[in-house]
């Protein structure tokens, strides 16, 4: 079977868009390079002694692992040389990273360099998440406000999954395509074209240890799922929880389901648990492009107007009919 390389895929996609300059193609090629390098760093972590904690915390107050910092450095190094970016923002940095003087790129890159890094020591799938925005017209040196764009303005989003195989899943607004890394050739190959999320599902993902903190709508939904065939839904459900958003969303893209990390009594002061700009927004774009839904429970995620770089938010996404049900339960509160 002959598979298309991601370079061929990006070139062909560029040719299909009248007026394309090729800049986004080059940016995506740099992101591809970043993901390959991070995959190698994750795979060799135990051999290189880079699996442990650093003893420091990021701006989120989370303990940083050595691989968090390594992955962040890889993204910064791999994506600044082209001169096509005006700035970058990351979970691991307090403030935006601006390009050297004289570099006037037209795009902004936001990323979580190593999502689910608490899993690396037990060899469970982790990943990288990224979002590409246009730098506002006329802006030479972007300020914080220039990064605070709603998700509907993303021009590209995606993630890399470092699991039993390394995969890259992307959207540029025309569906979702998945690529698998051939370690023999070093090429990402198109293996999952036009991914679609099933409208219905019998699988949900949530951290059950937070059950006592949940809002009534989430309690109602999960209670009904747990009751299974003897409850009001009349069917049995399975529960999954990986503690890696990339792994959770990847499973939903492949076989449907719903992922929930709601704002609850435990994280209400922060506004939720997951970060809007470089976690929720790119995943929401992917899910919507794959015909699923992404919501806070009360509104569409991609329409939220950010007010802070590291803003947190309630996230409910996945199979359309399941997300709609949760939204209905919130509306009934």
- Do the annotations mark residue 118 as ligand-binding? yes
State the CB neighbour count (10 A cutoff) for residue 32: 22
Residue 298: what are its φ and ψ, rounded to 5°? Answer: -125, -20
Specify the 3-state DSSP secondary structure of 96: coil
Q: Is 207 annotated among the ligand-binding residues?
A: yes
91 labeled binding residue: yes
Query: If DSSP states are collapsed to H, E and C, what string results for 307-329?
Result: CCCCCEECEEEECHHHHHHHHHH
- The CA-based angle 191-70-44, given to 5 degrees, is 60
Q: Is 68 annotated as a binding residue?
A: no
Helix axes 23-43, 66-80, angle to 10 degrees: 150
Is 236 labelled a binding residue?
no
State whether the Cα torsion 274-276-282-284 is positive or negative. positive
Q: 91: which 2 tokens? A: 């979970």
203 is known to lie in a ligand binding site = no
58 is in an annotated binding site: no
Is 116 known as a binding-site position? yes
Q: Is residue 137 marked as binding?
A: no
Nearest to 91 by CA among 300, 298, 273, 241: 273
Residue 196, Cβ neighbours under 10 Å: how many? 14
Q: Which residues are annotated as a binding site?
A: 91, 112, 114-118, 207, 279
Q: Where is the binding site for substrate, in residues?
A: 115-118, 207
Please state the residue numbers annotated as binding site for Mg(2+): 91, 112, 114-115, 279
């Amino acid at each position: 079977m002959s598979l298309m390389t991601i370079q061929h895929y990006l070139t062909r996609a560029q040719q299909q868009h009248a007026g394309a300059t090729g800049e986004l193609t080059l940016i995506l090629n740099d992101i591809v390079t970043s993901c390959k390098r991070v995959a190698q760093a994750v795979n060799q972590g135990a051999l290189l002694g880079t699996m442990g904690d650093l003893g420091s915390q990021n701006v989120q107050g989370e303990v940083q692992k050595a691989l968090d910092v390594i992955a962040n450095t890889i993204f910064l190094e791999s994506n600044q040389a082209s001169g096509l970016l005006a700035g970058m923002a990351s979970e691991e940095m307090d403030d935006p990273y601006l390009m050297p003087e004289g570099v006037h790129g037209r795009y902004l890159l936001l990323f979580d360099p190593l999502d689910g890094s608490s899993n690396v020591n037990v060899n469970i799938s982790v990943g990288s998440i990224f979002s590409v925005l246009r730098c506002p017209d006329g802006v030479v040196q972007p300020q914080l406000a220039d990064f605070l764009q709603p998700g509907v303005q993303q021009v590209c989003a995606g993630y890399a999954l470092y699991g039993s195989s390394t995969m890259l899943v992307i959207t540029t607004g025309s569906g979702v395509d998945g690529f698998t890394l051939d370690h023999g050739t070093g090429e990402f190959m198109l293996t999952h074209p036009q991914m679609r999320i099933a409208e219905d599902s019998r699988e949900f993902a949530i951290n059950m240890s937070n059950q006592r903190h949940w809002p009534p709508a989430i309690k109602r939904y999960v209670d009904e799922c747990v009751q299974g065939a003897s409850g009001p839904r009349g069917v049995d459900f399975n529960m999954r929880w990986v503690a890696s958003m990339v792994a959770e969303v990847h499973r939903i893209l492949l076989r449907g389901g719903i992922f929930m990390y709601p704002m609850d009594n435990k994280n209400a002061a922060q506004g939720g648990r997951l970060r809007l700009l470089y976690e929720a927004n790119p995943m929401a774009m992917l899910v919507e492009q794959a015909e699923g839904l992404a919501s806070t429970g009360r509104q569409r995620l991609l329409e939220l107007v950010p007010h802070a770089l590291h803003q947190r938010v309630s996230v409910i996404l996945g199979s359309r009919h399941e997300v709609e049900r949760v939204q209905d339960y919130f509306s009934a509160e």
